[in-house]
Amino acid sequence: IMTSKDRINLMLKGMADMCESMGVFVVGGGFSTSFSDIVPAVVVSVIGKQVTEKPLTKPAKSPGDKIIIIGATGTDGNDTLYRAGLVPVMKPAIAMFTEEKTTMEATLAAFTTGKIKACSDLGAAGIGAAVCESARFGGLGAKVELDKVPVNTNDITPEEVFICETQARMLLQVEPQNVDEVLAAARSKNGIAAVIGEITDQDYNVFTYKGEVVANIPNKPSPETLEKLMD
C-alpha cells in the first residue's frame, strides 16, 4: 500500500497549516486516482507577482561577495547522509511553520536593502548543494566555514552542517561593504543571520570546519569521478 486516506488527510492538513501560517490563501485543489501504479505525488503551486525589473537569481556574480545564511541548521533532513551510509538513522526534515515565516520576513527585509546580488533556498543536500550550484552556475567557486553556520543543536557533526536539509533557511550573497546593512535588516525581523563564507575566482568549492577540510568539490568532476559514477 503506497499511501492511505489518513496520510492523504495529513498531507492536506500540513499544506493548509503552512499556508495559514504564511498568510497565503488556498484558492483550490484536486485529487486524482488515475495514477495507481506510482508513488503519489503532492504538487503545490503558488501564484504571485514577479518583480521583473531587477530579479534575484541563483548564480554567483562576483569573487569576494560574502555568503550569508538566514536560519539555523539542525540534524533533521539527513536522508542524503543516511542513503550514503554515513548515519545510522534517517531523520526527516521537520516542518517548522514559525521559523519559515520568520525566515521569509527576514529575507524580504534583506531584499528591501537593494544590496542582494544572488539568492537561493536550501533544499536537497542543504548548504553543500546550494553553495555549489550557485558557484557553478556563475562560473565561480566558493569557500565556506561550516563552524560559522548557526545551529539549533550542539550535537551536530560538520558533515550534518554541510548537507542536512533543515527547513526555513536561505542563502544570500552581498558585497563586503553591504554585509552589516543586510544583517541588520534580517535581524530586525528576528531572523538568525550570519556570514559563513565568500565567493572565489576558483573552479571548486571548499568547505572547512575549524580549519579542517570537510569537502572539496570541483565544479566539473574529473573523468575518473564520472567513470565511477557510471559504474
| Average pLDDT, 10 consecutive residues per value, the chain (231 residues) | 72 84 80 66 76 85 98 87 79 84 95 95 90 97 98 93 92 98 98 98 97 95 79 69
Reading the block at residue 28, the C-alpha cell is: 483550490
Residue 67 confidence (pLDDT): 99
Residue 99 confidence (pLDDT): 92
- 106 shares its domain with 185: yes
Residue 9 confidence (pLDDT): 82
Domain count, the chain: 2
Residue 199 confidence (pLDDT): 98
- The pTM (predicted TM-score) of the whole model is 0.85
Reading the block at residue 133, the C-alpha cell is: 550550484
Whether 88 is in a domain gets the answer yes
Sign (positive or negative) of CA dihedral 145, 147, 152, 157: positive
Residue 1 confidence (pLDDT): 44
Angle at 136 between CA 218 and CA 164, to 5 degrees: 75
- 82 shares its domain with 158: yes
Residue 161 confidence (pLDDT): 95
- 31 shares its domain with 75: no
Residue 66 half-sphere exposure toward CB, CA atoms < 13 A: 18
Residue 148 confidence (pLDDT): 98
Q: What residues have CB less than 8 Å from 153, skipping those under 6 apart? A: 74, 75
Whether 51 is in a domain gets the answer no
- 34 shares its domain with 93: no
d(CA 205, CA 102): 29
Does residue 97 contact residue 110 with C-beta atoms inside 8 Å? no
Residue 76 confidence (pLDDT): 87
Nearest by Cα to 155 from 224, 223, 87, 228:
87
